[in-house]
Chain A
């Protein structure tokens, strides 16, 4: 099959535009496969795996664009390349597009919020300009130097403005999804989150539970580090404390710096009156100050944080919510037996292929207690780091949203290519027993992730079966029925492929532990795991 690469020197489009273009290119008549990518190392490796890389493409640099097409004849290829080049220069359709911030501000002079997603090194300049105009900022950009983040946040605080981020994947402001966020119910729970998919999971579970979210403020993981000192965590708490819609405030973060955590807890103790739920995942269980014992609940997972937030509001609603979101331990054991009873003796490892950073982290925290050492590209301890992030070792959980997989290409929540390739690879390993997949729905994400993984899931299952093995695939769908992708529809599609779908990410990790331990995890151990992770501490 002929393949052609055309390199466009110093030609830039963002990864999402390129993904869209790649999908359009695949639909051109006669084209077998196509991809339009920036010429980064990762992208060239993927083109190679897809059989789409030839000599011309190999020498492309990071600032060059590669158009790669395969088709049955040279003629079709050349025609397709011509069409793709035309698409590249086509002006955008609807909407108001500008080429400078100044002209955009003239067109929308009363703007009150900005989403900034330029590369981190350019974020400060733009953000400060917006703050000068009195505009709150959701800063999506990664790799913003921490000194810049501190400067931006101090500047914003002086002006009474919010800076959500840096590296904030999600916010929900006035019931609207900002960046990657779900369509959730409006309600009395305010969330402050230094963990993007953490905010998505908690807001989604609160909605599934029948309650809702007043505001979901994504402050970025850097906010709770010593250098930034929790500036926006505190500003957000102040705002939610004042907000009359908010009755319960839920805080979600990977463990904050101890000084920052103390500062936050002290603030809550002496300056607030509302009810609070903390979910400092992976941190030590702390002594709740006496004054807070009546109105602060400590949790260790997103699952528990969502349920406890509902409980603080309404005990009756909580009982109903528990039935929807949780699975009793005995039932989970039965589910696990049904799966592990089909395994071959050699099958013992779990492989988690995640798109959400916080969902990866939450799984690692749980699996560490249930299974011991788990390797990762985002490990809990340096000794558990994968030597090669593309290759799993024993129990492995990878965050496919990490930099090594995403430089110059779209995030795996949008582009399933990397995960699909990895899924099939994992299925070939005779020691693999369980695969874990997260599907994050909502604005910004792939329009039909279950469908986009269908072929790979089938292939993975077939590969294992051909070799006389049963491969258990577990999934959690983080979404609501009001999301454009629809939670029920996605769940049904996955279940029809033989995937076991769990209502929460924490339950997926617990079930995976029970399945991989093949009956060694008894009811009492499971009860202890539930107490540790699914109940208040």
Chain B
């Protein structure tokens, strides 16, 4: 283990932010290279169908 962690500790951070936008703004304020994924909850019904489908399949 920890080789990839050591690599992270030595690298410039490049961050994907998924969800709360304020964290993305904080990354930009710190001059961190970052992209933001705007996340929306899937409609409830879709998740229910997905669960049923995953049971059938």
Q: Which of A77-118 contact B (CB under 8 A)?
A: 92, 94-101, 104-105, 107-108, 110-118
Contacts of A100 in B (CB 8 A): 37
With a cutoff of 8 Å between Cβ atoms, the chain B residues found around residue A521 in the complex are none
Contact with B along A115-152 (1 / 0, CB 8 A): 11111001000100010001110001100000000000
Instruction: Indicate if the CB atoms of A235 and B36 lie closer than 8 Å.
Output: no
**In the complex, what distance in Å separates the CA atom of A112 from the CA atom of B15?**
6
**With contacts A101-B37, A104-B35, A159-B4 known, is A114 near B15, CB below 8 A?**
yes
Q: Does B56 contact A (CB under 8 A)?
A: no
Residues in chain B near residue A63, CB distance under 8 A: 44
The yes or no answer to A225 lying at the interface (CB within 8 A) is: no
The answer on a CB contact under 8 Å between B41 and A12 is yes
Q: Which of B14, B23, B38 contacts A108 (CB 8 A)?
A: B14
A104 with B19, Cβ < 8 A, contacts A98-B38, A235-B1, A239-B6 known: no
Is A444 positioned at the interface, with any CB of B under 8 Å from its CB?
A: yes
Bound CA span A414–B2, Å = 35
Q: Given B5, B11, B13, B26, which contacts A235 in the complex, CB threshold below 8 Å?
A: B5
Select A444's contact among B1, B16, B23, B32, beta carbons within 8 Å. B23
**Which A residues are CB-close (under 8 A) to B32?**
176
- Report, as a range, how many residues of chain A touch the other chain: 35 or more
Is A215's beta carbon under 8 Å from chain B? yes
CB-CB under 8 A from A414, the residues of chain B are 22
- Nearest to B43 among chain A residues (CB) is A10
Q: Is the CB of A111 within 8 A of B15?
A: yes
Contact of A99 among B3, B6, B9, B38 (CB under 8 A): B38
Give min CB distance, B12 to chain A, whole Å: 8
Q: Which of B13, B18, B38, B41 sits near A112, CB closer than 8 Å?
A: B13
Tell me, yes or no, whether B29 is within 8 Å of chain A by CB. Answer: yes
Chain B interface residue number, banded: 35 or more
User: Contacts A12-B41, A113-B14 known; A443 to B29 CB distance under 8 Å?
Assistant: yes
Whether B35 pairs with A14 at a CB distance below 8 angstroms is no
- Which single residue of chain A is at the shortest CB-CB distance from B11? A112
A444 near B2 with CB under 8 A, answer no
Q: In chain A, residues 139-174, which have Cβ atoms closer than 8 Å to a Cβ of chain B?
A: 140-141, 157, 159-162, 173-174
Distance from B44 Cβ to chain A, minimum over Cβ atoms (Å): 8
A238 is an interface residue with CB less than 8 A from chain B: yes
Question: Nearest chain-A residue to B3 (Cβ)?
Answer: A160
* A108-B16 in contact (CB<8A): yes
Residue of A nearest to B28 (CB): A95
In the assembled complex, the Cα of A135 lies from the Cα of B13 at a distance in Å of: 11
Which of chain A's residues have a CB closer than 8 A to the CB of B44?
63
Rounded to whole Å, the gap between the CB of B32 and the closest CB of chain A is 6
Cβ proximity bits B23-50 to A, threshold 8 Å, 1 near / 0 not = 1111111101111111111011000000
Closest to B16 in A: A114
Let me know if A112 and B35 touch, CB within 8 A.
no
**CA distance in complex: A340, B4 (Å):** 55
A490 CB, nearest partner CB in chain B, Å = 18
CB <8 Å contact, B19 and A14: yes
B2 CB contact (under 8 Å) in A14, A96, A235: A235
Partner of B36, one of A17, A95, A242: A95
Contact B16 A111 (CB under 8 A): yes
Which among B7, B23, B36, B41 has the greatest number of chain A C-beta atoms within 10 A?
A: B23
Question: Is there contact, CB below 8 Å, between B14 and A112?
Answer: yes
Minimum CB–CB distance for B13 against chain A, Å: 6
Cβ A174 vs Cβ B9 within 8 A: yes
Q: Given A104-B35, A117-B20, A117-B23, A134–B15 Cβ distance below 8 Å?
A: no
Q: Known A113-B14, A443-B29, A484-B29; judge A122-B4 contact (CB<8 A).
A: no
Q: Which residues of A contact B33 (CB under 8 A)?
A: 108
B37 pairs with A99, CB closer than 8 A: yes
Residue pair A161, B4 in contact (C-beta under 8 Å)? yes
- Interface contact B1-A238, CB-CB below 8 Å: yes
Interface string of A197-225 (1 = CB under 8 A from B): 00000000000000000010000000000
- Nearest residue (CB) in A for B36 is A97
Nearest-CB residue, chain B, relative to A410: B22
Min CB distance B31 to A, Å, is 9
| Contact partners of B39 in chain A: CB under 8 A | 118, 122
Q: Are A16 and B20 in contact (CB under 8 A)?
A: yes
Checking B13, B23, B43 against A179 with a beta-carbon cut-off of 8 angstroms, the contacting residue is B23
Name the residue of chain B whose CB is nearest to the CB of A181: B26
Q: Report the Cα distance A178→B39, complex, angstroms.
A: 19
Q: Are B35 and A107 in contact (CB under 8 A)?
A: yes
Task: Report which of A113, A122, A160, A242 forms a contact with B15, defined as CB distance below 8 A.
Answer: A113
For residue B28, which residues in chain A have a CB less than 8 angstroms away from its CB? 94-95
A-B pairs, top 10 by smallest CB distance, nearest first, are A117-B19, A443-B26, A117-B20, A239-B5, A160-B4, A114-B16, A96-B35, A239-B2, A118-B19, A16-B22
Sample of 11 A–B contacts (CB below 8 Å): A17-B21, A95-B24, A104-B36, A111-B14, A112-B14, A115-B16, A116-B19, A118-B18, A140-B19, A173-B8, A444-B26
Residues of chain B having any CB pair with chain A under 8 Å = 1-9, 11-30, 32-41, 43-44
If A136-B4, A176-B27, A444-B26 are given as contacts, then 12 extra A-B residue pairs at C-beta distance below 8 Å, sorted by A number, are A10-B43, A14-B21, A98-B35, A101-B16, A108-B16, A108-B33, A112-B7, A118-B18, A134-B4, A157-B1, A160-B1, A174-B12
